[in-house]
């Protein structure tokens, strides 16, 4: 199960998606959607922390985003969160701000992709993993 940098699990052929029955796929898409909707709030929190220059807290938040976005196979976001973590370690506020902006763009891009995917795959049930 290999994914490209900009792929999500929804880009996999239906029979390779985790337990890819229709209900499961819909729930999975819903979970990604909820996560993408919540990410800007998390990024705002990091911005607020950056104001007070609490780099330990920023690192912790970035660490969390790295793990969870990676689990959702949002690899580009996960990679940027790792970059954010490194910048917090280096206590580099400019780099942190740039990376935060970068993540915002990635979130918007992923959300757009997810919406167009949902529109395309609403034609009918696809073949399940179990056949």
Partner 1 sequence: MRLYPLTAPKGLQMAELVPHILTVDDDPHLVAVIEHFVLEWGYTHCGVNSSAQMWKELEEKNPSIILLDIALGDADGITLVSQLRQQFPSIPVIMITVHATIETAVRSVKAGAYDFICKPLDFERLRIEIGKAIAHNYLSLQVKAFQSAALNTDFHGMVGRSEPMRNVYRLIETVAPTDATVLLLGETGTGKELAARAIHECSKCCNEPFIAVNAPAIPHELIESALFGHEKGAFTGAHRQHIGFCEQANGGTLFLDEFCEMDYGVQAKLLRFLEDHIVQRVGAKSPHKVSVRVIAATNRDPNVQIENNKLREDFYYRLSVVGIELAPLRERPADIALLTRYFLNIAAAKYGKNMPSVMPKAMRLIEGYDWPGNVRQLEHLLDQIVIVNSTTKITPEMLPPEIANAASRRRLNTDTQIRSNTDKCMPSIPEMEQLLIIQALELTANSVRAAAKHLGLSEATLYRKIRKYGISRTSIKARTAGKTRG
Note the residues at the interface with partner 1 (CB under 8 A). 18-19, 24, 27-28, 31, 34-35, 38, 60, 63-64, 66-73, 78
**For partner 1, which is the closer residue by CB, 18 or 112?**
18
Cα 106 to Cα 27: distance, rounded to the nearest angstrom = 22
**For partner 1, which is the closer residue by CB, 24 or 98?**
24
**For partner 1, which is the closer residue by CB, 42 or 102?**
42
Indicate the SS3 state at residue 32: helix
Q: How far is the CB of 28 from partner 1 (least distance, A)?
A: 7
The answer to whether 99 touches 77, Cβ cutoff 8 Å, is no
Q: Terminus-to-terminus CA distance in the chain, angstroms?
A: 18
């Amino acid at each position: 199960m290999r994914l490209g940098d900009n792929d999500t699990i929804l880009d996999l052929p239906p029979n390779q998606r985790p337990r890819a029955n229709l209900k499961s796929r819909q729930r999975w898409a819903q979970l990604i959607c909820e996560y993408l909707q919540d990410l800007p709030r998390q990024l705002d929190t990091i911005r607020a922390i950056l104001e007070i220059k609490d780099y330990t807290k920023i690192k912790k938040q970035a660490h969390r985003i790295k793990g969870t976005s990676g689990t959702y196979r949002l690899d580009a976001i996960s990679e940027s969160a790792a970059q954010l973590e490194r910048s917090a370690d280096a206590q580099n506020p400019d780099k942190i701000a740039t990376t935060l902006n970068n993540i915002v763009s990635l979130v918007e891009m992923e959300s757009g992709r997810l919406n167009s995917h949902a529109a395309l795959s609403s034609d009918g049930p696809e073949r399940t993993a179990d056949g």
